[in-house]
Amino acid sequence: MRLILSLLLVFTGLTGSAAAQTVQRAELWNTEQFVLHSKILERDFLIQVAKPFGEVKGKVPAVYITDGNMLFMAAAAVAAANAGKDSTGPAYYIGIGYPEQDRDLWFKDRSAHLTHVDMKAKVPTGHGDKFAQFLIRELRPAIEARYPVDPARRMLAGYSFGGLFATRVLLDHPDAFDTYLLGSPSIWVEPALLDRAKAFSTPASPKRVFIAVGALEPPFMRTAELRDALSQPGNGVTVQYWSVPDENHMTVPPAFLARALRFALPPPRQ
């Protein structure tokens, strides 16, 4: 019997160096993914979900993360690192990305989907309203039908153009989410948002906003101005701001996401 098994392994190439050369697509721990087609944008999206570790009682928050191709791995790492710990409460982290493994296409499509104004750039921009409708009308119902998430505890996270997009969603659709996590939001693209933010008020439906920016980023990012605009007395917005030491625009995302999730998901009281 052993001889027959050995011969089968040899003939099928599953022995010796051949076995070591077998390559499979990597999977992140305790996550799953699916492709969701958007009728609004006429495009497929890769939806990746990091699930809570262990038994979860009742419904838990959902954190929707734009730029999933880039940021979802960091979110899944936070979920794994905090499993069974007291750093953050349980949640489902939903990365919103693209199924194609093509960085140029990713840059082109994120530029279109995460901005609301025409930037007169070499790539399409200004389709943010449709992307917001996809998020609210198509993705969110799909997630809430599939997972035990709490509709009263929805959170939106984004970095750079994604932070700009989340700012615009806060101002355009404030009740779509209760917590907004803004990493280095590119307010310079649409500075008129600063006046809108200053006039923004939602005392009947309070919002929490976390803003982070690398300490080495240029002043034209205008994130401190956004913080001040959203910090008007009595407007119903709680703002926490963090200037990340020694980080620039390209290196700040992991630190932003780790701290932002601690802000958004405080551990349950013992």
User: The domain spanning residue 187 has which CATH number?
Assistant: 3.40.50.1820
Q: What is the mean pLDDT of residues 9-18?
A: 43
The number of domains in the chain is: 1
The answer, yes or no, to whether residue 2 has pLDDT greater than 80, is no
Host domain of residue 259: 26-264
Which amino acid is located at 115 in the chain? T
Is residue 270 assigned to a domain? no
Q: How far is CA 237 from CA 163, 167, 170, 267, in A?
A: 17, 13, 11, 21
Residue 199, C-beta contacts closer than 8 angstroms, at least 6 positions apart: none
Is residue 186 assigned to a domain? yes
Is residue 189 assigned to a domain? yes
What's the rounded Cα separation, in Å, for the pair 215 and 106?
Answer: 27
Confidence of residue 109 (pLDDT cuts 50, 70, 90): very high
What's the rounded Cα separation, in Å, for the pair 245 and 135?
Answer: 33
Q: What is the mean pLDDT of residues 260-270?
A: 83
Is residue 66 assigned to a domain? yes
Q: Tokens 């034209």 label which residue?
A: 220
> Which of 161, 155, 96, 156 is closest to 124 using CA atoms?
161
Is residue 12 assigned to a domain? no
Q: Tokens 């992991």 label which residue?
A: 254
Is residue 119 assigned to a domain? yes
- pLDDT tens digits, residue range 248-259? 999 999 999 999
Task: Write out the two tokens for 54.
Answer: 């262990």
The answer, yes or no, to whether residue 3 has pLDDT greater than 60, is no
Q: Which residues of 178-188 are buried (b: 16+ CB within 10 A; e: fewer)?
A: bbbbbbbbbbe
pTM (2 d.p.): 0.90
Is residue 97 assigned to a domain? yes
Is residue 47 assigned to a domain? yes
Task: Using alpha carbons only, give the angle 47, 52, 53 rounded to the nearest 5 degrees.
Answer: 130
> Which of 77, 230, 102, 105 is closest to 163 using CA atoms?
230
> Which of 266, 236, 257 is closest to 66 using CA atoms?
257
What's the rounded Cα separation, in Å, for the pair 111 and 36?
Answer: 20
